[in-house]
């Protein structure tokens, strides 16, 4: 089992507002930048750990289960034509929010600018804008319950103090993204009623959700990495893609909170649950004994090393 330090962090510090115009930056983005999550916090341990790569598909799928978010991705994203580039950019952005230091707020501003022109009509015939507070806040909100739930399987259950610390740090990420405090539940106690309301009233199996859990997708071979590796993957892709697609569906549905899974209508059996628990039990033993360079993603590893070096200098 992983030790408690895997999810340790400092002690932590209503309902979504009615939709607004969205594109305006919050006042703080025009003045002092919001602080990113603290070094050594819960997110510093969670989001850079290689096991977090298994958590991301569940969060991304829940994001696009929102009718407006799903419509925006369906109509404006390049995830079908450039899935590897889209995934790489999303991961780089997430790592900047947590480990980017001064660049975190800059990345938040970049994302808001990128989303200013994304608008249309959702699956229920409602006009949407990507930066409407209710829509943008949902994209952010999905991270907390997925981290909290998946950590039980892949790392260890969080203590109440760790859960509160994680939520406080996730609020800091929301501020980095330019979301007002009034548009995010401010405590864990406020979050869960909001979560249940969203699952009951908004979330559905959108077109993009169905594509993300499809076991027969038309995903091109990876176009990144060394040329010999790309060449080998291209040759083997017809053989590799089917089991990879099945595995992606397995971890996407399995690491999604059960109430969210039910709200989206994704099936999950007792046998699948046993398989997930067996896989995660192995990862809980193997990953913590890996060297730092294998256990953490590159940006996380560099940030953690710099922070540790500074701590040594300061005695």
Q: Kindly give the confidence (pLDDT) of every residue in the chain, 315 residues in length, as a single tens digit, with 9 standing for 90 and above.
A: 333 334 443 333 333 333 333 444 444 444 688 999 999 899 999 999 999 999 999 999 999 999 999 999 988 887 788 888 888 899 999 999 999 998 999 999 999 999 999 999 998 999 999 999 999 999 999 999 999 999 999 999 999 999 999 999 999 999 999 999 999 999 999 999 999 999 999 999 999 999 999 988 788 888 888 888 889 988 998 999 999 999 999 999 999 999 999 999 999 999 999 999 999 999 999 999 999 999 999 999 999 999 888 888 887
Orientation of helix 143-154 relative to helix 270-286, angle to 10°: 80
Q: What would you report as the CA-atom Rg of the chain, rounded to the nearest whole angstrom?
A: 19
Q: What is the pLDDT of residue 221?
A: 87
Continuous segment of H or E residues that includes residue 120: strand 119-121
| Integer CA distances (angstroms), 31 to 23, 28, 313, in order | 17, 5, 31
> In terms of DSSP H, where are the helices of the chain?
42-46, 52-63, 67-76, 83-99, 103-115, 133-141, 143-154, 160-176, 188-201, 207-212, 227-254, 258-264, 270-286, 292-295, 298-313
Beta bridge partners of 49: 296
Q: What is the pLDDT of residue 20?
A: 39
Whose tokens are 């590799």? That residue is 240
Q: What is the pLDDT of residue 42?
A: 93
Q: What is the pLDDT of residue 159?
A: 94
Residue 262's closest CA among 16, 62, 71, 54? 62
Q: What is the pLDDT of residue 300?
A: 93
- Residue 186 CA to chain centroid, in angstroms? 19
Q: What is the pLDDT of residue 32?
A: 84
Q: What is the pLDDT of residue 65?
A: 96
Residue 182: which residues within 8 A CB-CB, separation 6 or more? 14, 17
Residue 170: which residues within 8 A CB-CB, separation 6 or more? 37, 43, 140, 143, 144, 147
- Residue 61 CA to chain centroid, in angstroms? 9
> In terms of DSSP H, where are the helices of 100-226?
103-115, 133-141, 143-154, 160-176, 188-201, 207-212
CB 108 within 8 A of CB 178: yes
Dist CA 230 CA 54 (whole Å): 22
| Integer CA distances (angstroms), 315 to 309, 310, 311, in order | 10, 9, 6
Dist CA 249 CA 251 (whole Å): 6
CB 2 within 8 A of CB 138: no
Residue 314: which residues within 8 A CB-CB, separation 6 or more? none
């Amino acid at each position: 089992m992983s030790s408690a330090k895997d999810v340790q962090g400092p002690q932590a510090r209503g309902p979504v507002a009615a939709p607004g115009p969205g594109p305006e930056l919050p006042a703080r983005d025009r003045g002092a930048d919001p602080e990113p999550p603290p070094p050594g916090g819960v997110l510093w341990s969670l989001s850079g750990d290689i096991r977090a790569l298994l958590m991301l598909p569940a969060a991304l799928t829940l994001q696009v289960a929102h009718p407006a978010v799903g419509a925006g991705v369906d109509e404006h994203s390049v995830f079908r034509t450039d899935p590897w580039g889209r995934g790489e950019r999303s991961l780089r952005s997430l790592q900047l929010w947590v480990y980017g230091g001064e660049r975190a707020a800059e990345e938040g501003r970049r994302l808001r600018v990128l989303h200013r022109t994304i608008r249309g009509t959702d699956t229920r015939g409602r006009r949407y804008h990507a930066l409407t507070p209710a829509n943008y806040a949902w994209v952010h909100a999905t991270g907390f319950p997925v981290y909290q739930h998946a950590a039980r399987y892949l790392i260890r259950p969080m203590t109440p103090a760790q859960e509160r610390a994680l939520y406080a740090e996730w609020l800091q990420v929301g501020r980095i993204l330019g979301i007002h405090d009034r548009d995010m539940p401010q405590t864990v106690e406020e979050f869960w009623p909001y979560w249940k309301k969203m699952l009951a009233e908004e979330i559905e199996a959108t077109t993009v959700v169905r594509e993300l859990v499809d076991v027969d997708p038309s995903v091109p071979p990876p176009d990144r990495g060394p040329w010999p590796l790309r060449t080998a993957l291209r040759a083997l892709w017809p053989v590799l893609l089917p089991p990879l697609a099945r595995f992606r569906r397995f971890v996407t549905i399995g690491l999604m909170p059960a109430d969210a899974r039910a709200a989206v209508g994704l099936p999950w059996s007792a046998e699948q649950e046993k398989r997930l628990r067996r896989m995660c039990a192995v990862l809980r033993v193997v990953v913590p004994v890996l060297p730092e360079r294998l256990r953490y993603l590159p940006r996380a590893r560099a940030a953690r090393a710099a922070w540790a070096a500074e701590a040594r200098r300061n005695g």
